[in-house]
Amino acid sequence: MLDIKFVRENPETVKQNIRNKFQDEKLVLVDEVLKLDQENRDIKQEVEALRANRNKISKQIGALMAQGKKEEAEEVKKQVTQNASRIEELSEREKVVEEEIRKRMLVIPNIIDPSVPIGKDDSENVEVQRYGEPVVPDFEIPYHTDIMEKLNGIDMDSAGRVAGNGFYYLMGNIARLHSAVLSYARDFMIGRGFTYCIPPFMIRSNVVTGVMSFAEMDAMMYKIEGEDLYLIGTSEHSMIGKFIDQIVPEEKLPYTLTSYSPCFRKEKGAHGIEERGVYRIHQFEKQEMIVVCKPEDSMMWFDRLWQNTVDFFRTLDIPVRTLECCSGDLADLKVKSLDVEAWSPRQKKYFEVGSCSNLGDAQARRLRIRVNGKDGKKYLAHTLNNTVVAPPRMLIAFLENNLNADGSVRIPEALRPYMGGMEIIRP
């Protein structure tokens, strides 16, 4: 959410940002906000004048009563009553106007960083760099669920009977591999100086609207019936929510946290054949990283965060590339975003396994996360998040890149301590 003062002083900048995100239907919101903002300021000005007048009249009444001019004092009292009635009327209107402003401001997108490429959708995202050599072996690589089934590692039929589409049972060594990857990711991030955290897996609605847009909320979140609680779609939601209504001493920044959680997502919409199996599911587990920092440090942390994911995947011998998200592919709260994509030897292309986002002060403004500067002045923090790893989707890349011709799967050295020393998974 933008600062209303910024919108007031830079309406054309805000409108051009909307155009850059190809959301022209939102242009009208800027004019509506400006009109409502002017009304709101007029109301405050009139209320202030009425209160000043009320104080003046109160002194006048006291003087008249002291002079024994009771009738004149009673006439003046009527003005006080009229003023009070008008103040009450204006105060009620003020609440309505401020709520209307907030509703619109929550929908106006954040100002994107000047470095973000302008493009309509994800087809116009820009490759930045590749890490590792993509290899296509001289044998056929089966679909990932076929690999898992040959290793007795997945049961989607039973999951379908128990919970429906979008769920799975992981079994045996594949289930162990899943847990090993998460444990390794936890220790990897602790080794990089991040504090490990297990957050609440349910959050209240005021936290939901603080960390994401309404469109994302509708497409992702599961509501707990009869409760003001939602299942988290990623631990970023509850991790950023941890700082709601907090004034953080500047000397404690940055907060660098890595969190584990299950994640629950509706995943609305139709998906292609490559998204069957465990690619796009309603329940999965993830290791996340989040940073709360000073504004001037956020771009530095943005680069550190995505590099952590690249380094993690390279220790597992998985080639990856980084992809700069264009303006039209950015969620409304994001200032800048970069995807990490893993190589799929079967598809002979890369696919997303993580997303790094700088949200500027958007989440901090919504959740009122402030920093108490050394000079005593308070300002809004910047927040960032990035995926370390999200199996079982990551397992697709892992299995394809470590598959042998005989159907066995090699365990990279970094992961072996978490697999009891196992070097290979055999059918």
* Cβ-contact 397, 344 below 8 angstroms: yes
The whole-angstrom separation of Cα 151 and Cα 172 is: 8
The whole-angstrom separation of Cα 79 and Cα 67 is: 19
Length of the chain (residues): 427
3-state secondary structure of 38: helix
117 burial type by CB count under 10 A (0-12 exposed, 13-18 middle, 19+ buried):
middle
Residue with the two structure tokens 């289930």: 175
Amino acid found at 21 = K
**DSSP class per residue in 178-225:** HHHHHHHHHHHHHHTTPEEE---SEE-HHHHHHHS-HHHHHHHPEEPT
Cα pseudo-dihedral 261, 267, 229, 102, rounded to 10: 110
Largest Cα separation within the chain, whole Å, is: 108
Instruction: Indicate which residue of 186, 236, 238, 265 is catalytic.
Output: 265
265 among known catalytic residues: yes
Instruction: Indicate which residue of 250, 352, 410, 416 is catalytic.
Output: 352
- Token duo for residue 192: 């990089």
Q: How many helices (H) and strands (E) does the chain have?
A: 13, 18
* Cβ-contact 203, 227 below 8 angstroms: no
The whole-angstrom separation of Cα 417 and Cα 422 is: 8
Alpha carbon 146 to its chain centroid, in Å, reads 34
352 among known catalytic residues: yes
3-state secondary structure of 387: strand
* Cβ-contact 138, 324 below 8 angstroms: no
Using the Cα atoms of residue 386, residue 264, residue 269 and residue 181 in order, give the sign of their dihedral. Answer: positive
Instruction: Indicate which residue of 280, 304, 314, 416 is catalytic.
Output: 280
276 among known catalytic residues: no
Residue with the two structure tokens 């024994």: 68
Instruction: Indicate which residue of 259, 327, 344, 355 is catalytic.
Output: 355
**What are the residue numbers of the active site?**
265, 280, 352, 355, 393
